Amino acid sequence: MGGDTHDLSYYAKCMMGGVLACGLTHTAMVPLDVVKCKNQVTKGWSSSLTQGLTQLKAEGSLTLGWLPTLIGYSLQGFGKYGFYEIFKDVYKGIVGEENAQKYRRIGWSISSGCAEVIADTLLCPFETIKVQMQTSSGETAYPKSFLPAYNKFVSENGSKSLYKVLPPLWGRQIPYTIVKFVSFEQIVELFYSKVFTRPKSEYSKGQQLSITFLSGYLAGILCALVSHPADTMVSKMNALEFKGQGISEIYSKIGFSGLWTGLGTRIIMIGTLTGLQWWIYDSFKTAVGLQASGGSTAPVTNKH
């Protein structure tokens, strides 16, 4: 855990870092997200990312759904990063320092998965409205502003329906987050043990943050591959074409190949997004006097 004291102030700083990391990056990626969602819901909506962005610009929809994205993913980052740090310490407290180090990958997996359950519960209502705004069209199109879209959804479906996509959201985000945190920690550890072999403290903050970004980008590519089928299902469940249908019913219509629609766009989006998230998170942590993430828990050779 480095030299940081894990008190309430530490967790609060990590939570704020998570708010900035997830809220800002997901909002910045909204144009890519709209293209991805429209292609998932309407097959062949655009033949390429560039064409999709051009269409959105012509429609005035490049930033469609930015407000629920900002609110929802800020709350998600609060839960994801903050509770990850809390659960890691809970895990260490249960199994002890030595076992926590020895079985750290299990600890990373459990901690990130538990944190994501909380994070997605906070995100879900906003994700539901965001997808409705981004994918609806024609006479049933949702308003382009958040509050009118929210009111329309609740009046038509009831407030409980805001959480209808929580199971597939967990199915998308929990594997995504476990891969995101475990692969990031592992990649950082490998960088500091195999490539940048001096003690971590001997590298400047700028160098450490560069390692953070590269590790996050590589982890993001793995995240996109693992979580894409569930991401597609979240979009399909919110589409008018599949309204009221369950996961198995939708799958019987789109098939296995249909789960991978828009993967190329999402790899670019998630790789960049994940790299930037870790960079913003660590930039904030170092700015408030904490250590950069990862690399400080590499295994120590037993000399006895």
- Over residues 54-63, the mean pLDDT reads 85
What is the rounded average pLDDT for all residues in the chain? 86
Q: Is residue 262 pLDDT above 80, yes or no? A: no
Question: Tokens at residue 35, please?
Answer: 């293209």
Higher-confidence residue: 77 or 256?
77
Torsion sign across C-alpha atoms 184, 114, 65, 281: negative
The SS3 of residue 217 is helix
Model pLDDT, residue 3:
57
Query: In the chain, what percentage of residues exceed pLDDT 90?
Result: 45
Model pLDDT, residue 242:
73
Q: Is residue 180 pLDDT above 60, yes or no? A: yes
Question: Tokens at residue 125, please?
Answer: 């209502």
Per-residue pLDDT of 184-213, as tens digits, reads 999 999 998 888 888 877 888 888 899 999
Those residues whose C-beta lies under 8 Å from the C-beta of residue 235, and which sit 6 or more positions away, are: 36, 37, 40, 41, 131, 135
User: Structural domains in the chain?
Assistant: 8-287 (1.50.40.10)
- Over residues 158-165, the mean pLDDT reads 92
pTM for the model:
0.79
Distance of CA 228 to the CA centre of its chain: 12
